[in-house]
Amino acid sequence: MQFKSLIENVPKVPGVYQMFDKSGALLYVGKAKSLSARLRQHAADEKILQWDVARIEIITTKTEADALILESDFIKNKRPKYNILLSDDKMYPMLALVPGEFPRLSKFRGKTNQKRDVFGPYTSGTALNESLKLIQKVCRIRTCTDSYMKNRTRPCLLYQIGRCSAPCMAGIRIRHSDTVSEYRNCVALARRILSGDTSSVLKDLSKQMDAASANMDFESAAKFRDQIRALSETAARGRKSGKSADYFAGDFSERPTIAIERIRDGAIISNQIIYPKQTDGMTPSDIMEQTILWAISDKRQETGNRNIPIITNIPTPLLDSYRLLPVACRPDDVEIKKLLHQISTNRKVFARAEIKWRDAVAELEGWLGIRIERADVFDNSHLFGTNPVGAMIVFGSEGFAKKEYRHYKLHDESRAGNDAAMMEEFLTRRYGNCKGAVSCAPGAEDVRPLLIVDGGRQQWNAAKRVLKKLNLEIPVLGITKGEKRDGDESFIMPDGKVDSSLPKDSRLFLLLRAGRDEAHRFAITFHKKTRGKRAVASALDEIDGIGAARRRALLRHFGSASGIADADTSALTRAAGISKSLAEKIYLHFHPESDALL
């Protein structure tokens, strides 16, 4: 299978990708700010093309920083064939609490050990410094070396600005609070914050502040108030420690699929998606129980640890009755939901990779009883009738023909919001110059298409009316969604009958759904682009004195409507053709609540 076909529909979001060969062996793990862009770069790399990649799995993350940490965990624990092993974590800065009578905070890069508490890794030095600054503000723990502290005769500048409690002066006892016991309490507080226990720390500090205030100890109450303020303003960046569990998320709506994730001490050490085979006659519980026993037995024999909790979304009555393993069914668990989302994402992204186009189109021909050289798939998109657009995608025995894709803007605004009426206009414009049973396909005058419309009976009827009016003999297939939406589709056949008999994991069903999803993606993308352009134009057109030329000048200068909205008057005047008075008008348009101009 060609590498490009594996990545054709990968989303433009941050995440981690894994490449596997035909035997299922992991070849490479990588992270990206945009999975789509990164994998397309790989498609042009001759070295990677020689690896014979047979399958790709992705895990989406909220940020590139999250992907960076996840990639590091995977490389260390899975040891992919073509990755450089980062066994000593030298890439990532960490924060340590060095033990002693007065423990200190220390930044380092390198291997961890059991003699000190380690927090991280952090995605950058900036992220680490933010956490360090927070701990200094709230807990006032020292950062100096032992030799430096022992040789101090007076407190340093950090004490003066409230970032250190000056344990170097403990013998002198310049303040009552600077005692050994209170310093250790601060160290315990720092551990809780760096471990991510921020919410409970805030509750405890609030109680202590209220108690001190009730006892008329306003100095202590003010100290607790400052700690709460500093902790509320900055989030601790430590990774949660001590969390270990095995997660099994099963999705049986189509082909049985189970995502497995192992977490040890807060780090993801493995993540994989498996597809159990020979499951005829087995219930989801049977499949899940067999999968857990298969995946867990060897791992736990090696480590000698049978007490790590197992979380799943499918009941396992057999394992529960014999108490073989500590299994808990928690469908609403956050990690379980993440894994189910991962399964859904991989299904949608790589559905096309499972399609053998020639065979699938041949099955489509046999199912409909006609010969098909190409299929035109139409879809509409609008937001409550605004910015209405249409889209056509084309596929055939060689896959999607992207050069023949077409966008349509609605000419008759009276049709906006009426899907059937919109479909009539777009189909009329598409097939208006065709004759008889022959399509005027771009560059192929003798090609007869199959017309597929996304929608219900109204859209199918609209397509039939247009073709009848144009005297065209083109078969029409409609795709409708049931109550369960995705995965519950039925089809309106060319003769008007409804067919709901296609197996959801069949090659033909995957082909039709992939075509529908591609048309939907193409239409939505164009709609968002059109809506964005009109939003910018309409926002600026409402301002007296802004015409086409000044609108273009503003967009060229600031790059986007949000950039214009965020600019102050002095910045606006730097754009070509914008006077001070006009800048004030623009600023007040986007900031009507402002009384004074910046």
Per-residue pLDDT tens for 551-570?
A: 888 877 776 666 787 778 88
More confident residue, 188 or 386: 188
477: pLDDT strictly greater than 90 = yes
Instruction: For residue 354, name the pLDDT band (cuts at 50, 70, 90).
Output: low
Mapped onto helix, strand or coil, the DSSP state of residue 498 is strand
User: Up-side HSE of residue 171: CA atoms within 13 Å toward CB?
Assistant: 8
Mean of the per-residue pLDDT values of the chain: 77
pLDDT digits (tens, 9 = 90+) for 456-469: 888 899 999 999 99
Lowest-pLDDT range, 21-30, 259-268, 382-391, 480-489?
Answer: 480-489
Integer distance in angstroms from the first to the last C-alpha of the chain? 59
435: pLDDT strictly greater than 60 = no
Contacts of 462 (CB under 8 A, 6+ apart): 420, 421, 423, 424, 427, 453
Helix (H) or strand (E) holding 531: helix 507-541
What's the whole-number mean pLDDT along residues 13-28? 86
CATH number of 542-590: 1.10.150.20
What's the whole-number mean pLDDT along residues 475-483? 83
205: pLDDT strictly greater than 70 = yes
Interatomic CA distance for residues 103 and 455, integer angstroms: 67
**Tally: H helices and E strands in the chain:** 21, 21
Instruction: For residue 237, name the pLDDT band (cuts at 50, 70, 90).
Output: very low
304: pLDDT strictly greater than 50 = no
The CATH H-level superfamily of 3-78 is: GIY-YIG endonuclease (3.40.1440.10)
pLDDT digits (tens, 9 = 90+) for 114-164: 567 777 666 566 667 777 887 888 788 888 888 888 888 888 888 888 888
pLDDT digits (tens, 9 = 90+) for 357-376: 888 888 898 898 888 888 99
What's the whole-number mean pLDDT along residues 391-396? 91
Q: Sheet containing 55-60: which strands, arranged edge to edge?
A: 26-32, 15-20, 55-60
11: pLDDT strictly greater than 80 = yes
Token pair listed for 396: 């055939």
Instruction: For residue 303, name the pLDDT band (cuts at 50, 70, 90).
Output: very low
Interatomic CA distance for residues 66 and 61, integer angstroms: 6
Instruction: For residue 329, name the pLDDT band (cuts at 50, 70, 90).
Output: very high
Interatomic CA distance for residues 194 and 127, integer angstroms: 12
Omega before 121 within 30 of 0, i.e. cis: yes
pLDDT over 90 for what percent of the chain? 7
Could you tell me the pTM of the whole model? 0.42
DSSP H helical ranges for 432-506 = 457-469
235 to each of 52, 181, 413, how far by Cα in Å?
Answer: 44, 26, 50
- The alpha carbon of 452 is separated from its chain's Cα centroid by a whole number of angstroms, namely 31
61 to each of 46, 55, 125, 364, 379, how far by Cα in Å?
Answer: 28, 20, 21, 37, 30
* DSSP labels, 361-399: HHHHHHHHTS--SEEEEEEEEEETTEEEEEEEEEEETTE
What's the whole-number mean pLDDT along residues 173-188? 69
Q: Residue 65: which of 237, 196, 195, 231 has the closest Cα?
A: 237
Contacts of 287 (CB under 8 A, 6+ apart): 250, 252, 256, 258, 276, 279
pLDDT of residue 3: 77
pLDDT of residue 298: 46
Q: Do 3-78 and 355-530 share a fold?
A: no
Name which CATH class applies to 245-349: alpha beta
Q: Sheet containing 94-98: which strands, arranged edge to edge?
A: 104-108, 94-98, 117-119
Highest average pLDDT, of 72-76, 233-237, 310-314, 323-327, comes from 310-314
Name which CATH class applies to 355-530: alpha beta
Residue 276 sits at the vertex; the CA angle it makes with 274 and 282, to the nearest 5 degrees, is 145
Q: Where are the domains of the chain?
A: 3-78, 110-233, 245-349, 355-530, 542-590
pLDDT of residue 392: 92
What's the whole-number mean pLDDT along residues 191-207? 74
The DSSP output letter for 352 is G
Contact 597, 591 (CB under 8 A): no
382: pLDDT strictly greater than 80 = no
Q: Residue 539: which of 506, 564, 514 has the closest Cα?
A: 564
